[in-house]
């Protein structure tokens, strides 16, 4: 009896087997990039860790840079799905912002995110263009979603915002703040529990007051 790889699945509508392999490749790539660094991670190693052939890796991702960018995007989207940036009718704006703030804070405070940020900083000294690539693959997409939400809120009179993009930058910078800086430096552990909740609530209250109609 043939033994199936863990990422194999029955072939059917939507090609779930291919989707499962893609997810396995992304998970393997994230683990290797964070443990070995970008330069020391090969497509061969990713294929072995994912339990697929090297040809399969290349069929899903053209090259290592594309694979890295896809891994970054997947990490961001898993924590902050696009639906979270919607503004449902009747839901208070502060509740929508608080939900985003909680999830964004959890994202940047995760061990995976901290390692990724440190990796990007290290890569920047080797190739200045790599930081731009990372920015476009992750943070820029999140900013665009937040900008669209804040523009919608301004058009509906929920907030008074002249520059939605600038306001989105302010929001995320406030969430990161000094706690994230200390975390990246290794000077302090991430905020958790009541401390994390108090931090995000304070930021949302400050943001809403600053942009109140």
pTM, to two decimals: 0.79
Apex CA 79: angle with CA 76 and CA 80, to 5°?
80
User: What confidence category does residue 53 fall into, taking pLDDT thresholds of 50, 70 and 90?
Assistant: very high
Burial class (CB in 10 A: 0-12, 13-18, 19+), 91: exposed
pLDDT at 151 over 70: yes
What pLDDT is recorded for position 1?
37
CA distance 137 to 108: 15
Which region holds residue 139: left if phi is over 0, alpha if psi is between -120 and 50, else beta? Answer: alpha
| Mean predicted confidence (pLDDT) in 141-156 | 95
109, pLDDT greater than 80? yes
pLDDT in tens, 17-30: 688 999 999 999 98
164 near 144, Cβ under 8 Å? no
Question: Per-residue pLDDT for 32 more than 50?
Answer: yes
Closest Cα partner for 103 from 186, 168, 200, 173? 200
Task: Please say if the pLDDT value at position 119 is more than 70.
Answer: yes
From first CA to last CA, the distance across the chain in angstroms is: 68
Q: Are 200 and 102 in contact (CB under 8 A)?
A: yes
What pLDDT was estimated at residue 15?
62
Please answer whether residues 28 and 71 qualify as being in contact, where contact means their C-beta atoms are separated by less than 8 angstroms. no
Mean pLDDT, the chain, integer? 87
Is 132's pLDDT higher than 90? no
Write down all domains in the chain, each with its CATH number in brackets.
1-61 (1.10.10.60), 64-210 (1.10.357.10)
- Residue 84: which pLDDT band, with cuts at 50, 70 and 90? confident
């Amino acid at each position: 009896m043939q033994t199936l790889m863990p990422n194999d699945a029955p072939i059917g509508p939507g090609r779930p087997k291919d989707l499962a392999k893609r997810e396995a490749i992304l998970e393997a790539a994230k683990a290797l990039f964070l443990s070995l660094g970008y330069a020391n991670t090969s497509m061969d190693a990713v294929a072995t860790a994912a339990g697929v052939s090297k040809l399969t890796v290349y069929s899903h991702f053209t090259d290592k840079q594309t694979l890295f960018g896809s891994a970054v995007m997947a990490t961001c989207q898993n924590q902050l799905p696009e639906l979270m940036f919607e503004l449902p009718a009747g839901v208070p704006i502060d509740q929508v912002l608080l939900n985003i703030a909680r999830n964004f804070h959890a994202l940047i405070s995760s061990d995976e995110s901290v390692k990724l940020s440190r990796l990007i900083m290290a890569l920047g000294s080797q190739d200045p263009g790599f930081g731009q690539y990372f920015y476009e693959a992750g943070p820029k997409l999140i900013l665009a979603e937040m900008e669209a939400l804040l523009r919608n809120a301004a058009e509906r009179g929920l907030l008074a915002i002249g520059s939605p993009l600038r306001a989105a930058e302010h929001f995320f910078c406030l969430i990161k703040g000094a706690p994230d800086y200390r975390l990246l430096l290794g000077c302090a552990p991430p905020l958790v529990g009541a401390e994390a909740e108090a931090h995000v609530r304070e930021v949302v209250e400050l943001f809403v007051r600053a942009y109140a109609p």
